[in-house]
């Protein structure tokens, strides 16, 4: 999580790196590109189109040494309105009550039909699931601060809805920095992220190969849950060209992957590791 600061609207905000703008750009591009399909689910008598953000943060951020920007949930809502296909419901969740309440206030001020859920994502995903129409269209954005909180049960919960697209932030930096500790610890962050990895991954090999096998195993789990992980993975870099994280889509419908391919514009992105 970024440090909380005073926002430009009187509510708490978070300080972020400049790469957050790029991340939100890809999120909003996907929301915009998928507007035609979303319109079919919105309106009287329709099942609805929802936006889900399980790590919503305060909904406002200040780029370090630069301007204030909308957080992911507010940016996605505004883009859906701008695209003339607003989400019929916005479900946001966060472990931190201050951040959650700030995001809710900002979304309400923007006219969003928002509902809030306080707690860890593994719990809030289950609670939100029970609020989702089985015939609706659903889009979730998972932007955790570490690999360890991206519990695989979250994906199993979300996969219970047929029309569920999930845009995921996978922290490459977290995998690199903490890999040694995670593969030797009795209780590892990898146990929740990719259950069963200990019987699959050869930890005697180099770290690059270990990371690759971990992600391959995670993708296999995602597929088993009913999603297809996208081939197109957008690499987000820091100011010194350091690799920070990947954005990728997991979805069961081909059209969603076509939308993400356009939104990500992944030409010349290179391999995962």
Could you tell me whether strands 228-229 and 4-6 are parallel, antiparallel, or unpaired per DSSP bridges? unpaired
Q: Is residue 117 part of a domain?
A: yes
CA distance 273 to 117: 35
**pTM given for the model:** 0.93
Q: Is residue 270 part of a domain?
A: no
Q: Is residue 21 part of a domain?
A: yes
Beta bridge partners of 175: none
pLDDT at residue number 213: 95
Q: Is residue 107 part of a domain?
A: yes
- Tally Cβ neighbours within 10 Å of residue 265: 12
Full domain range(s) for residue 207? 4-264
Q: Is residue 36 part of a domain?
A: yes
Q: Is residue 78 part of a domain?
A: yes
Q: Is residue 271 part of a domain?
A: no
Where residue 185 sits, what CATH number does that domain have? 3.40.50.150
State which residues of the chain have pLDDT below 50: 266-273
CA distance 151 to 47: 28
How many domains is the chain partitioned into structurally?
1
Phi/psi-derived region of residue 100, left when phi > 0, alpha when psi is between -120 and 50, beta in every other case: alpha
Nearest by Cα to 74 from 174, 7, 123: 7
Task: Please answer whether residues 26 and 51 qualify as being in contact, where contact means their C-beta atoms are separated by less than 8 angstroms.
Answer: no
Q: Where would I find the H helices in 110-253?
A: 121-129, 152-158, 172-184, 189-193, 207-225
CA distances from 208 to 98, 169, 175, 212, 271 (A): 38, 19, 10, 6, 12
């Amino acid at each position: 999580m970024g440090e909380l600061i005073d926002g430009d609207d009187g509510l708490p905000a978070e300080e972020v790196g400049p790469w957050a703008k790029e991340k939100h750009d890809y999120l909003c591009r996907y929301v915009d590109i998928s507007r035609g399909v979303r319109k079919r689910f919105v309106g009287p008598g329709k099942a609805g189109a929802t936006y889900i953000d399980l790590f919503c943060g305060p909904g406002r951020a200040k780029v370090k040494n630069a301007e204030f920007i909308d957080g992911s949930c507010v940016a996605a809502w505004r883009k859906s309105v701008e695209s003339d296909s607003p989400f019929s419901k916005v479900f946001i969740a966060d472990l931190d009550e201050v951040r959650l309440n700030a995001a809710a206030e900002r979304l309400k001020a923007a006219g969003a039909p928002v509902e809030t859920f306080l707690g860890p994502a593994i719990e809030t995903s289950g609670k939100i699931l029970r609020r989702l129409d089985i015939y609706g269209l659903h889009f979730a954005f998972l932007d955790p601060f570490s690999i360890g909180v991206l519990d695989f049960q979250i994906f199993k919960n979300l996969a219970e809805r047929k029309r569920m697209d999930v845009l995921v932030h996978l922290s490459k930096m977290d995998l690199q920095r903490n890999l040694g500790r995670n593969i030797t610890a009795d209780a590892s962050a990898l146990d929740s992220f990719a259950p069963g990895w200990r019987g699959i991954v050869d930890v005697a090999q180099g770290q690059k190969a270990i990371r690759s096998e971990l992600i391959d195993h995670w993708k296999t789990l995602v597929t088993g849950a009913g999603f297809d992980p996208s081939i197109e993975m957008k690499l987000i870099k820091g100011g010194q060209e350091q690799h920070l994280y990947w954005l990728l889509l997991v979805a069961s419908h081909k059209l969603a992957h076509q939308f993400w391919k356009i939104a990500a514009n992944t030409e010349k992105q290179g391999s995962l590791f």
